[in-house]
Amino acid sequence: MTDVMLREAAERRARILAAIASAARSARRDPSDVTLIAISKTRSVEQIEPLIVAGQRDFGESRVQETQAKWPALRDRYPDLRLHLIGRLQSNKATEAVDLFDTIHSVDRLSLLDALANAAIKANRFPSVYVQVNIGDERQKGGIGLADLPAFIDQVRATPLALAGLMAIPPLGPEPGPYFALLAKLARRHGATGLSMGMSSDYSAAVMLGATAVRVGTAMFEDANA
């Protein structure tokens, strides 16, 4: 880990935090209410550690196996790290997910919810969960349909897992703002406080519309002018 790597990681993180703060202030929000999650899937330990040294503590991964390979040693060195699962999770990986992750952003079906709740009880470790909403009604995407959302939120609340809020990925192509606004409306309607929405290309818009967690990958790890 060179001085150049450390400086560049710190500069990238600072630029994103400044953009988050600007968007939050424009929406009359407290910037500290927004958690920046660095999406580190496919990134090596050598790429990740400079961000940790720069102060980043929340990281997102999409695969259990990759997380198991990369993170135990890092968590030994930096015990205050928080790991977020942002990818689709198979129910048969629930035990490993409960052991690895502090928050799971992709709970989208009852079989997965039951598997996570049972694994959490056995391990006495209870990650918080976001309900993934299929906000654009896209057949190829995971997520709870809008009509099924009220009942599913009730099912989450009947488990020992804390409901962190709602998560969604807008359709590719259309402006994301209306989808972010709809997710915020659904969260208010159902008393869910967290909104996991916004990625490298649209996190500022997400913050202005209420995001409490933004999932930023490319902009955290690659220089914009590279």
pLDDT in tens, 3-43: 888 899 999 999 999 999 999 999 999 999 999 999 999 99
> Strand, helix or coil at 128?
strand
Rounded to two decimals, the pTM is: 0.95
Is the predicted pLDDT of residue 195 greater than 70, yes or no? Answer: yes
Count the neighbouring beta carbons within 10 Å of the beta carbon of residue 42. 12
When pLDDT is averaged across residues 138-147 and rounded to a whole number, the result is 88
In the chain, count of helices (H) and strands (E)?
Answer: 9, 8
In which band, very low, low, confident or very high, does the pLDDT at 2 lie, cut at 50, 70 and 90? Answer: confident
When pLDDT is averaged across residues 64-83 and rounded to a whole number, the result is 96
Is the predicted pLDDT of residue 174 greater than 70, yes or no? Answer: yes
Count the neighbouring beta carbons within 10 Å of the beta carbon of residue 87. 17
When pLDDT is averaged across residues 191-207 and rounded to a whole number, the result is 96
Is there a domain that residue 226 lies in?
no
Is the predicted pLDDT of residue 226 greater than 70, yes or no? Answer: no
Domain that holds residue 171: 3-221
Is there a domain that residue 149 lies in?
yes
User: Across-strand partners of 37?
Assistant: 215
Q: Cα separation of 102 and 63, whole Å?
A: 14
Q: Tell me, what's the pLDDT at 141?
A: 82
User: Across-strand partners of 83?
Assistant: 59
Q: Rounded to 5 degrees, what angle do the CA atoms 98, 102, 107 make?
A: 65
Contact 186, 169 (CB under 8 A): no
Q: Rounded to 5 degrees, what angle do the CA atoms 126, 69, 38 make?
A: 65
Is the predicted pLDDT of residue 186 greater than 60, yes or no? Answer: yes
Domain count, the chain: 1
Q: Tell me, what's the pLDDT at 18?
A: 98
User: Which CATH number characterizes residue 166's domain?
Assistant: 3.20.20.10
Is there a domain that residue 162 lies in?
yes
Task: Choose between 141 and 118: higher pLDDT.
Answer: 118
For residue 161, what are the CA distances in angstroms to 90, 168, 206, 215? 17, 19, 26, 22
Q: Tell me, what's the pLDDT at 62?
A: 96
Is there a domain that residue 148 lies in?
yes
When pLDDT is averaged across residues 95-113 and rounded to a whole number, the result is 97
Look up tokens 């997965």; give the residue.
Answer: 112
Contact 177, 209 (CB under 8 A): yes
Q: Tell me, what's the pLDDT at 224?
A: 55
Is there a domain that residue 43 lies in?
yes
